[in-house]
């Protein structure tokens, strides 16, 4: 109540304070803007530190141990400081272009990634279709699964002579090696996911009278999506491994041929820098497929 109400109240009248009533004229002040922003940033900073700091510390310890171990006169590998001195241009300028063969590692990795993108995309499409067939049909599983199990044990580079004889060109041969390497985990994981579809989902499909295409799109793929993306993550990693090895034999301007050429020229520092690039790109590819998988499988059918 205000001052006027207190002034007009009769003498001796009892004034009762209402529960929860605030004193007149008292307005709560909002927290300072800087403090609220800090409170929002603290959890984010904590998450970043937890995820980023341990790998950085590990890398620093490895570099320190490497520097100490490789600094001796009997060491055949260059220490990190010497690698920086000899391969600084490859690290600082990954996209320099002087000629058709004198290019930075960034361009070489893009060439390799283009081959991986084509081969892996074909493997993903064909692998999901064949895996769905094997997982859905008992006869297809009995007929094809033993063949798949035999072929998937063949080393990727063992296919390279046959692909070179068939295509007579290094580019499609390398793409075929990627395809034949990445397709097996996609087929196997897709088939497992299809076989694990709950019977209730199949009963719903019968009640709704879904045809084969509708059942594939609306039931099979959403239910098996987590398994499919597990196979895709394995496949993309194998694809990156295969292209680096294949390019060492087929030549060209890819990252694999760069490593082989550096070895023939005894440029060990260049090889180590290229290996670091390869590892970073492989990690990024795995994280990318995992991110797409988490987005696609969010809200899909679960059991």
Residue 202 lies in a domain: yes
Q: Give the span between the Cα atoms of 138 and 171, in whole angstroms.
A: 37
Number of domains, the chain: 1
pLDDT digit string, tens, across residues 87-135: 888 888 888 888 777 788 999 999 999 999 999 999 999 999 999 999 8
Most confident of the ranges 46-55, 74-83, 163-172, 291-300? 163-172
Residue 282 CB contacts under 8 Å (≥ 6 apart), including other chains: 237, 240, 241
**Domain for residue 73, yes or no?**
no
Alpha helices in the chain (DSSP H): 3-8, 33-69, 80-86, 88-92, 105-136, 138-151, 160-167, 170-195, 199-207, 212-215, 221-250, 255-264, 268-297
Q: Report whether pLDDT(13) > 80.
A: no
CA neighbor of 267 nearest in space, from 59, 107, 74, 82: 82
Among 16-25, 40-49, 179-188, top mean pLDDT goes to: 179-188
- The pLDDT score that the predictor gives to residue 223 is 86
Residue 35 maps to a domain: no
Residue 52, domain member (yes or no): no
| Residue 201 covered by a domain | yes
Whether 43 maps to a domain, the answer reads no
- Rounded to whole angstroms, the Cα distance separating 9 from 266 reads 101
Domain extent for 101: 88-297
Of 24-28, 115-119, 192-196, 237-241, the one with minimum mean pLDDT is 24-28
Picking from 283, 238, 275, 232, the residue whose alpha carbon sits closest to that of residue 256 is 275
Mean pLDDT of 2-16: 48
pLDDT at 35 exceeding the cut of 80 = no
Report the pLDDT value the prediction gives residue 302, as an integer from 0 to 100.
46
pLDDT of residue 94: 87
Asked if residue 184 has pLDDT above 90, the reply is yes
119: domain CATH number is 1.10.3720.10
Domain assignment present for residue 16? The answer is: no
Count Cβ atoms below 10 Å from residue 172 Cβ, excluding itself. Answer: 17
pLDDT at 29: 53
Query: What percentage of the chain has pLDDT greater than the value 90?
Result: 42
Q: Is 118 helix (H, G, I), strand (E, B) or coil?
A: helix
Q: Give domain status of residue 188, yes or no.
A: yes
What share of the chain in percent tops pLDDT 70?
84
pLDDT at residue 39 above 80?
no
| pLDDT reported for residue 53 | 82
Q: Which of 32-41, 165-174, 256-265, 267-276 has the lowest mean pLDDT?
A: 32-41
User: Between these two residues, 237 and 28, which has the higher pLDDT value?
Assistant: 237
């Amino acid at each position: 109540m205000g001052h006027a109400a207190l002034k007009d109240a009769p003498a001796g009248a009892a004034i009762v304070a209402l529960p929860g009533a605030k004193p007149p004229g008292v307005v709560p002040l909002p927290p300072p803007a800087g403090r609220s922003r800090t409170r929002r940033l603290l959890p984010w900073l904590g998450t970043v530190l937890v995820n980023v700091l341990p790998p950085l510390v590990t890398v620093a310890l490895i570099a320190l141990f490497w520097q100490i171990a490789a600094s001796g006169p009997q060491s055949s590998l260059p220490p990190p400081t010497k690698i920086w001195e000899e391969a600084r241009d490859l690290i600082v300028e990954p996209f320099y272009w002087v000629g058709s063969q004198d290019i930075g590692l960034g361009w070489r990795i893009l060439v390799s990634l283009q081959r991986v993108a084509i081969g892996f995309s074909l493997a993903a499409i064909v692998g999901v279709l064949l895996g769905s067939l094997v997982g859905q049909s008992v006869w297809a599983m009995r007929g094809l699964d033993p063949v798949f199990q035999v072929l998937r044990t063949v080393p990727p580079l063992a296919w390279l002579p046959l692909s070179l004889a068939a295509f007579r060109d290094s580019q499609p041969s390398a793409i075929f090696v990627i395809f034949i390497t990445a397709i097996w985990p996609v087929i196997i994981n897709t088939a497992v996911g299809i076989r694990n579809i709950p019977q209730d989902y199949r009963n719903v499909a019968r009640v709704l009278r879904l045809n084969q295409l509708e059942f594939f799109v609306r039931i099979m793929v959403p239910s098996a999506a987590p398994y499919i993306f597990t196979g895709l993550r394995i496949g993309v990693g194998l694809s990156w491994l295969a292209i680096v090895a294949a390019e060492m034999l087929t030549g060209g301007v890819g990252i694999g041929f760069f490593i082989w050429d550096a070895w023939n020229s005894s440029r060990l520092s260049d090889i180590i820098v290229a290996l670091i690039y390869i590892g970073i790109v492989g990690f990024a590819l795995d994280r990318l497929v995992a991110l797409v998988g988490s987005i696609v499988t969010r809200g899909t059918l679960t059991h």
